[in-house]
Structure 1
Amino acid sequence: MTNPASYRPRPGEIPDAPGVYRFSDPSGRVIYVGKAKSLRSRLANYFADLSTLHPRTATMVTTANRVEWTVVGTEVEALSLEYSWIKEFDPRFNVKYRDDKSYPYLAVTMGEEIPRVQVMRGAKRAGTRYFGPYSHAWAIRETVDLLLRVFPIRSCSAGVFRRAASSGRPCLLGYIDKCSAPCVGSISPEDHRALAEDFCAFMAGETATFVRRLEREMASAAAELDFERAARLRDDLGALRRVVEKNAVVLSDGTDADVFALAGDELEVSVQVFHVRGGRVRGQRGWVSERVEDLDDAALVERLLLQVYGEGGADVPREVLVPALPEDAPEVAEWLARSRGAKVSLRVPARGDKRALAETVRTNAEGALALHKTRRAGDLTARSRALADLERELDLPTSPLRIECFDISTTQGSHQVGSMVVFEDGVPRKSAYRHFVVRGADGTGARDDTEAMHEVISRRFKRLAAERAAGIGGSDAVDEDGIPLSGAVDPTTGRPARFAYAPQLLVVDGGPPQVAAAQRALDELGVDDVALVGLAKRLEEVWLPGEEFPVVLPRTSEGLYLLQRVRDEAHRFAITHHRKRRSTAMTRSVLDDVPGLGPARQRALLAAFRSVRALAAATPDEIAAVPGIGPTLAQVVHEALTRPGAPALDAEAPALDAGAPAATEAVGDDAVGDEAAEPSAAAAPPRAEAGILEP
């Protein structure tokens, strides 16, 4: 525990101006970020008598050992900087509204020659119309399935579309009249685009126009005694009406608004938002966050709006309805207007339909909080019990709030990789995951798993020592004036360091040999403040360094369950990276061995000659004609491909796809590894099926 008086700024040091401040702990981690109209007045509140502070605020100031600030010109600039710092440093004492999933949108790719309707998640793309978000992808598919009767636009993937065009036969949807089959020329691109525009207009709220049009066409068909067509139109009309019923009008004036509501207690806060477009509820989102800051509803709303409408966030509508106005409401409204590019009304609904809708959203928030408490009570208890079990069974000085686990993955000694996963407070912290490429003493790889484990552990803690020696970590690092440096913030870049946090518990996947290798690495580096254990797979035994017999935890122990989860996550992360490297190695091209020929030039050559065999048959002058390839390099390429025994002369060697980016390896000791670095469904071959395909 730190005495706040030990790092309190001297009188007159803090400017009386708007700005953003941040508190850092002894290891250098930024633990809190805030903004103020007057930095002097706001920071003075944190250094009052501890007995007068809120318990969470008192915990924060006694955890920190340094405070820094940045003065800005306006309060709007302070809002933007505060949001950027919270996003960059992920402070533990700031309220963070963490959504547990990416919400799906109904998207129409109007930027393509033949627009396609589909489910989309993630970042929005130019030239695409979005409707939503929706709570479930199946809700979008049900809506689209009904609308394709009336607006039979393309919904197939690019692969299905190309195959149908080349074969001259439409897919199943084309045969059952749920697609107008532009792939085989059944409809012109212009007419198909008009259908897509009608589809977008209907989804945007112009429902009455299309309902009346179908009613007139149905009546006309019946008057002409074309009862078969009238029956089809009747079914189409029923489909449109069912879609309209699913999106009932809640605001009669065609309002575009986001309606927010909060419900919480002293520990947690539940957030719900209804997205209203064209007077109809088009989507709903909700999440629950721990209330780690002592903030009232107005401050919580301000933090919420910054995170929801920040970079890459939701679209800003004309109106934002909130349960309480932030203290800096004009500045927040100006910030929202900049994001939208037009005026935004930020207010609390006082009466009428909007007030009634806000009450409905609040009811949803209260229900979500009650459900969350029911589901989380057991989980929070189990996590606390697991950490307490490990502290007791392993005789640790404190609970292991940060656990790091290492695993090695290899195939008969090739493509060796190591993984490091991090659990904080018993849950994964995936942004801190790392993977290592094992090189060995001679650069060709380690002899076995123990040598690989020794190398990986050594490199991890060498990085920790190097960053601390550079003043990026540790409480003893000071500048030329004797002032402690900002710890886990790299002073050269201003960004968080990658390896500056030491674990309380180090876990290796394996038994005594792996534990001994890891302990040898720690001893060589003089690391004596990190506990080390190994978890063997066969009997789930916990091995301690130098012990003849393992520690056998009860099979019902929450501590054992936590170690198993950590070990399994390290194994999953290691084998995922190993498979990626192995797959990359299997697609090597003969061009990879040509000196001076990088991925970009390889793609240029393959785009020009289409294959390695054709490239080998070309003359140096023909090769030099390719943009980016000079006469000298052309001669080198020609000689490499035409020398006796060259692979290109014997058989067609695997080559890089001219239209795909070349695979590259990270340069340096370690590479950042998180969920974004792993193979995803988007990287898999497209499924050859008709209908709505979720990317």
Structure 2
Amino acid sequence: MTPSPRADVLPWRPKAGEIPAAPGVYRFSDASGRILYVGKAVNLRQRLANYFQPLRSLHERTRHMVLAASKVEWTVVGSDVEALQLEYTWIKEFAPPYNVKFRDDKTYPYLVVTLGDEAPRVMVSRNRRIPGARYFGPYPKVWAVRETIDLMIKAFPIRTCSDSSYRRAMQTGRSCFPGQIGRCGGPCSHKVTIEEHREIVEQFVAFMASHDRRVITLLQREMKDASDAFEYERAAKIRDRIQALENVLEKSAVVLPENTEVDVFGIEEDELAAAVQQFVVRGGRVRGVRSWVVDKELDIAAGELVESVLETAYENEPPPREIVVPVLPDDAPALELWLAERRGRGKVSLKTAQRGDKAAVLQTATLNAKQALALYKTRRTADYVARTQALTELQDALGLDEAPLRMECYDVSHLGGTNVVASMVVFEDGLPKKSAYRKFAVAGTVDDTESLAQVLRRRLARLDEDERTEEGEGDGTRPRRRFAYRPGLIIVDGGQPQVQAAARTLEELGIHDLPVVGIAKRLEEVWLPDDEFPVILPRGSEALFLLQRIRDEAHRFAITFQRQKRRADIGTVLSEIPGLGPTRSKELLRHFGSVARLRAADVEAIAEVKGIGPQLAETIVARLASSPAGGGRQEDEA
């Protein structure tokens, strides 16, 4: 939906004086009454004013949402906590399309001990509502729970058979089948009484709850007593139980001091999605890991994302006393009170971790989240149905005559105006074709749009040629194609300036049948050359995901090439210094770890390197100072 020049004032916008300056929850809805977005605010008037700024100043997707809406309503509440509770309730009830969506918010497997039964049973279950049951986990995979059970029942032989098998065994006096093969240690195996079995179950639960090594110490003492009494068979059984417990402890590494009860959330996000890793730490050990992926429709702050993640994580289970997150939400105190109500006893503390053991666990969780996000993207790209849907959506959204089976994406990268390079990556049928990737060194300009135009001229000059060169004369080798066949879509990394530069280049070359679009990072807007406003693809659409994947791959390929050239340049500079051979050059780079650190080092620091004296160090500093360095951070993208 494109706004008209006079659309900066929405006809349904309430007057500022009508909106209370009090805490509350607001909801945008469309003409059919569908709730589009639910949010909360400490001050409704201030918060809603953000949505009614001039449309051009709004984030593109926020503008899309307010243009789709036909009214906004609000409900005033008494406190921040009440606002949080009401927002949570409405999001669950209405599932607004512009709120955060939890794509993989599935139930996770738990190790369950049915303490409410006559003879408690250990099993795997996703059901969190078994009366009287004790839960341990969650576990990332079912096999992880089964592996733990296999180890634990060697140490604590308790019931594993089904309720029907148990009843049949107790009625007939014949052991249940798992008991016959040594896989069930309940009363149904007729090796222990109900009372003896209950005692073993309590030991099982106590160990799972604490992973206390004192249990092993007691068993070691019991094994020694059995051995001293010449009860070698019983001693051997106890030895096996000790080994099983040692195996369990090895698989549950100590990461924090004993008695630490904390959940640690690692979050990795991009413009479209976020991956969450929840590490459940009990007794200082990681007892469970839970992961899911979040689809983001609006561009929300990191604190808002954390808030949504915690609301989902503790929807059906109580939180621990302490929760470590990457960033604190703005209304962290209200969220702590809401979490305390979910817990039912004591306070809940939200914290960030900058140093120490908890920071190390947070770093590990974040690393896992980063890998999970990459895996999510890879799997989604590999899905044939999703790829077909993405190409069809692109054809419809961009008005193409046919689906773009071959797409070429271009990106420009440089370091502060030096080492300007560009990349071309190719996707065919929605998958990367790395053999067709090309890289370009750009000379004579540091302007992004001119660099892009130069690269496109070099590529498109061969568009209608045979595009083949012989790799040998008369030697029978196959001809090699430079660029293969014509693309169905050209994509440039950037917004309006970049896509317009690409369109001008096509016009100069007399090419009128190649569609070109740009995808702007951060807002993920899709720009066409002659349009005043971008095409807005739904955040969860396969088409936008594919465009993002192509753009990111082009950026990665360009940056890799740019860094290679930079390393080659510094190698050339060092090789030109008298008295500094290959061995000393390598020692310099190894000592400082990076080109940036070497350039920043003074004479004294360089003179400390093995084989480098004060005089040579002065020469190195002077030579590096006279060579182009680029300056700052500046791996800039077009």
Letter in 1 for 2:168: R
Query: Helix, strand or coil: the match of 2:33?
Result: coil
Q: Hey, what does 2:26 align to over in structure 1?
A: 21
> How far has the Cα of 1:269 moved from its partner?
1.4
Alignment of 1:320 onto 2:323: yes
Q: Deviations over 1:612-655 (max 9, x none)?
A: xxxxxxxxxxxxxxxxxxxxxxxxxxxxxxxxxxxxxxxxxxxx
Alignment of 1:9 onto 2:14: yes
Alignment of 1:352 onto 2:356: yes
Distance 1:228 1:239 in 2: 17
> How far has the Cα of 1:177 moved from its partner?
4.4
Q: Hey, what does 1:366 align to over in structure 2?
A: 370
Q: Hey, what does 1:296 align to over in structure 2?
A: 301
> How far has the Cα of 1:50 moved from its partner?
1.4
Q: Deviations over 1:530-581 (max 9, x none)?
A: xxxxxxxxxxxxxxxxxxxxxxxxxxxx99xxxxxxxxxxxxxxxxxxxxxx
Q: Hey, what does 2:95 align to over in structure 1?
A: 90
Aligned with residue 135 of structure 2, among 130, 144, 157: 130
Q: Deviations over 1:516-543 (max 9, x none)?
A: xxxxxxxxxxxxxxxxxxxxxxxxxxxx
Distance 2:364 2:382 in 1: 29
Distance 1:134 1:387 in 2: 37
* Pairing of 1:59-74 with structure 2 (within 5 A): 59-74=64-79
Equivalent residues of 2:140, 2:291 under 8 A apart: no
Distance 1:160 1:222 in 2: 36
Alignment of 1:213 onto 2:218: yes
Letter in 2 for 1:76: V
Distance 2:394 2:366 in 1: 37
Distance 1:142 1:184 in 2: 22
Distance 2:114 2:295 in 1: 38
Aligned with residue 343 of structure 1, among 334, 342, 347: 347
| Bigger relative contact order, structure 1 or 2 (CA pairs below 8 A, ≥6 apart) | 1
Q: Hey, what does 2:152 align to over in structure 1?
A: 147
Q: Hey, what does 1:565 align to over in structure 2?
A: none
> How far has the Cα of 1:382 moved from its partner?
2.7
Equivalent residues of 2:265, 2:362 under 8 A apart: yes
Distance 2:294 2:397 in 1: 27
> How far has the Cα of 1:22 moved from its partner?
0.7
* Pairing of 1:263-274 with structure 2 (within 5 A): 263-274=268-279
Letter in 1 for 2:66: V
Q: Hey, what does 1:332 align to over in structure 2?
A: 335
Equivalent residues of 2:156, 2:241 under 8 A apart: no
Distance 2:266 2:367 in 1: 9
* Pairing of 1:75-224 with structure 2 (within 5 A): 75-183=80-188, 186-224=191-229
Aligned with residue 258 of structure 2, among 247, 253, 256: 253
Letter in 2 for 1:325: L
Equivalent residues of 1:207, 1:244 under 8 A apart: no
Q: Deviations over 1:633-688 (max 9, x none)?
A: xxxxxxxxxxxxxxxxxxxxxxxxxxxxxxxxxxxxxxxxxxxxxxxxxxxxxxxx
> How far has the Cα of 1:222 moved from its partner?
2.5
Q: CA 1:18/1:25 → structure 2, altered by over 3 Å: closer, same or farther?
A: same
Equivalent residues of 1:170, 1:181 under 8 A apart: no
Alignment of 1:36 onto 2:28: no
Query: Helix, strand or coil: the match of 2:306?
Result: helix
Letter in 2 for 1:338: E
Equivalent residues of 1:322, 1:348 under 8 A apart: yes
Distance 2:237 2:379 in 1: 48
The aligned length equals 396
Q: Deviations over 1:453-488 (max 9, x none)?
A: xxxxxxxxxxxxxxxxxxxxxxxxxxxxxxxxxxxx
Equivalent residues of 1:168, 1:184 under 8 A apart: no
Letter in 2 for 1:343: K
> How far has the Cα of 1:274 moved from its partner?
0.5
Q: Deviations over 1:325-349 (max 9, x none)?
A: 1100111001111111221111112
* Unaligned runs of at least 5 residues, structure 1: 396-557, 560-695
Q: CA 1:354/1:321 → structure 2, altered by over 3 Å: closer, same or farther?
A: same
Q: Deviations over 1:40-76 (max 9, x none)?
A: 1111110101121111111111111111111111110
Distance 2:234 2:128 in 1: 42
> How far has the Cα of 1:390 moved from its partner?
8.1
Identity in percent? 52
Aligned with residue 59 of structure 2, among 32, 54, 57: 54
Query: Helix, strand or coil: the match of 1:203?
Result: helix
Equivalent residues of 1:152, 1:177 under 8 A apart: no
Q: Hey, what does 2:389 align to over in structure 1?
A: 383
> How far has the Cα of 1:122 moved from its partner?
3.1
Bigger mean CA deviation after superposition, 260-269 or 65-74: 260-269
Query: Helix, strand or coil: the match of 1:51?
Result: helix
Q: Deviations over 1:145-181 (max 9, x none)?
A: 1211221111111111112122211123323444334
Letter in 2 for 1:94: N
Equivalent residues of 1:182, 1:189 under 8 A apart: yes
TM score, norm. by length of structure 2: 0.59
Equivalent residues of 2:109, 2:139 under 8 A apart: yes
Equivalent residues of 2:25, 2:75 under 8 A apart: yes
Q: Hey, what does 2:558 align to over in structure 1?
A: none
Equivalent residues of 1:110, 1:127 under 8 A apart: yes
Letter in 2 for 1:365: A
Q: Deviations over 1:259-309 (max 9, x none)?
A: 012111222211111111111111111122222122121111112112221
Distance 1:353 1:325 in 2: 19
> How far has the Cα of 1:129 moved from its partner?
0.4
Query: Helix, strand or coil: the match of 2:66?
Result: helix
Letter in 1 for 2:167: R
* Unaligned runs of at least 5 residues, structure 2: 402-541, 544-638
* Pairing of 1:422-437 with structure 2 (within 5 A): none
Letter in 2 for 1:82: E
> How far has the Cα of 1:101 moved from its partner?
3.1
Distance 1:128 1:77 in 2: 32
Distance 2:59 2:387 in 1: 24
Query: Helix, strand or coil: the match of 1:70?
Result: strand
Distance 1:185 1:375 in 2: 49
Distance 1:374 1:343 in 2: 41
Q: CA 1:269/1:107 → structure 2, altered by over 3 Å: closer, same or farther?
A: same
Distance 2:295 2:28 in 1: 19
Q: Hey, what does 2:288 align to over in structure 1?
A: 283
Q: CA 1:266/1:108 → structure 2, altered by over 3 Å: closer, same or farther?
A: same
Q: CA 1:223/1:336 → structure 2, altered by over 3 Å: closer, same or farther?
A: same
> How far has the Cα of 1:369 moved from its partner?
1.1
Query: Helix, strand or coil: the match of 1:207?
Result: coil
Letter in 1 for 2:240: D
* Pairing of 1:460-479 with structure 2 (within 5 A): none
Query: Helix, strand or coil: the match of 2:101?
Result: coil
